[in-house]
Amino acid sequence: LKTQVGIVGGGPAGLMLSHLLSKAGVENIVIEKRDHETIRNTHRAGILEAGSVRMLTETGINGRVLTEGHRHDGIDLRFNGVSHRIDFPSLVGESVWLYPQNEVFVDLAAARERDGGDVRYSVSDTEVLDQTTATPKIRFTDANGERFEIHTEILVGADGSQGICKWSIPGEERTDNFIEYPFAWFGILTEAPPSAPELIYANSEHGFALISQRNEHVQRMYFQCDPDEDASAWTEEQIWDELQKRVDGPDGFQLKRGPIFEQMVLKFRSYVCEPLRYGNMYLVGDAGHTVPPTGAKGLNLAFNDVRVLFAAIEKFYAEQDSSLLDSYSDDALERIWKAQNFSYWMTSMLHTRKDATPFEIKRALGELNTVVNSEHGKAYLAEGYTGWPTK
């Protein structure tokens, strides 16, 4: 097989890049180790920046984000049991959309199928090689057990945080920047009406909680837990009591309970691979960097990488000019480090370490008070949450 751009990974980043390249007349093939059903049922975050929504709606995905998604004009920062609303449009003139990542995948996969995109699911034994030559190669076994080799001109690693592309870069050619956190999130999906119209990010003496939504009948919620927590060990009642404790306050706010049909522990870490390039291989999305989930930045950051890399590849083929490819890593890293900072900031301000001293706990509350009592503080948060303007 031969193509111009070979993409390892058919999640949202890989499929969005494939869609944009095909529209621009650049040949590409996507391979993905999971099957369509598995990705469709992998529940991830649910918040899209306005810029990510525009990428879906203005490039002909015909996604359902505008009809099935929900525009959110703010979030609620809750601490000491008191809610403080951050109103995005009045602060920064933008909003976000609640639209789950697995639905973004469904829309992108459908658009690729509609447009005749070459996407191969359920592949195995994938290898990448010859990245520093003019013909990087991808080897894989397809769903029928047949072995293939794709000769590419540009190879893109969009294979997520557990992917192979990043690890194919020799250790001396890459810097791994990372930190681990002493906590994780316990996440649930429940069949219940919404408890609140917008997301609630709660800091409490019992730890962090996030009250999110999906639609009128299904809700998504999380609470801070230990990284080695066993999700299956919790009863529904224990989970609800734990969530409720973290949002309790003098206003008497009560979560609306319902049957829990999914419960899992999400580990988190911050990681950035530098540079995001090795020869003619480029990394996008979680394949090159991961953020903790608190700022809802993961998918949005991946789409930004795709936007930057697509412009670079388009220029390369249209004008035989590789200048944007050469600056891809630096250009993408600028926003990646902003988002790393934002996610780290939201995480540390809202979570409580087990060994936190009273000083540290009160300092975080001082920080939250600084934010919610200042137009500048609220605008700083709103700008990061809705997504900084692109250049």
Structure tokens at 388: 């900084």
Question: In terms of CB distance, is 28 or 294 closer to ligand DHB?
Answer: 294
Q: Sort 308 into a burial class: Cβ within 10 Å, 0-12 / 13-18 / 19+.
A: buried
Stretch that binds ligand DHB, among 110-118, 250-258, 288-296, 328-336 (CB under 6 A): 288-296
6 touches ligand DHB by CB under 6 A: no
Quick check: is 201 catalytic? yes
| Beta carbons of 78 and 247 less than 8 angstroms apart | yes
Stretch that binds ligand DHB, among 43-51, 190-198, 324-332, 334-342 (CB under 6 A): 43-51
CA distance 33 to 122: 5
Among 15, 45, 108, 309, binds ligand DHB (CB under 6 A): 45
- Helices H / strands E in the chain, number of each: 11, 20
Quick check: is 297 catalytic? yes
Question: In terms of CB distance, is 97 or 253 closer to ligand DHB?
Answer: 97
| Beta carbons of 6 and 18 less than 8 angstroms apart | no
Catalytic residue among 297, 328, 351, 378: 297
Question: In terms of CB distance, is 18 or 294 closer to ligand DHB?
Answer: 294
39 touches ligand DHB by CB under 6 A: no
160 touches ligand DHB by CB under 6 A: no
Q: 164-223: which residues touch ligand DHB (CB under 6 A)?
A: 199, 210, 212, 220
The alpha-carbon radius of gyration of the chain (Å, integer) is 21
CA distance 60 to 58: 6
CA distance 280 to 132: 6
Task: Report CA-CA distances (Å) from 360 to 293, 310, 348, 350.
Answer: 22, 43, 10, 12
Q: 291-320: which residues touch ligand DHB (CB under 6 A)?
A: 293-294, 296
224 touches ligand DHB by CB under 6 A: no
Closest residue by beta carbon to ligand DHB: 46
Residues pairing with 200 in the sheet: 76, 211
Structure tokens at 106: 């469904």
**Footprint on this chain of ligand DHB (rule: CB under 6 A):** 45-47, 199, 210, 212, 220, 293-294, 296
Residues marked active site are found at 72, 201, 293, 297, 385
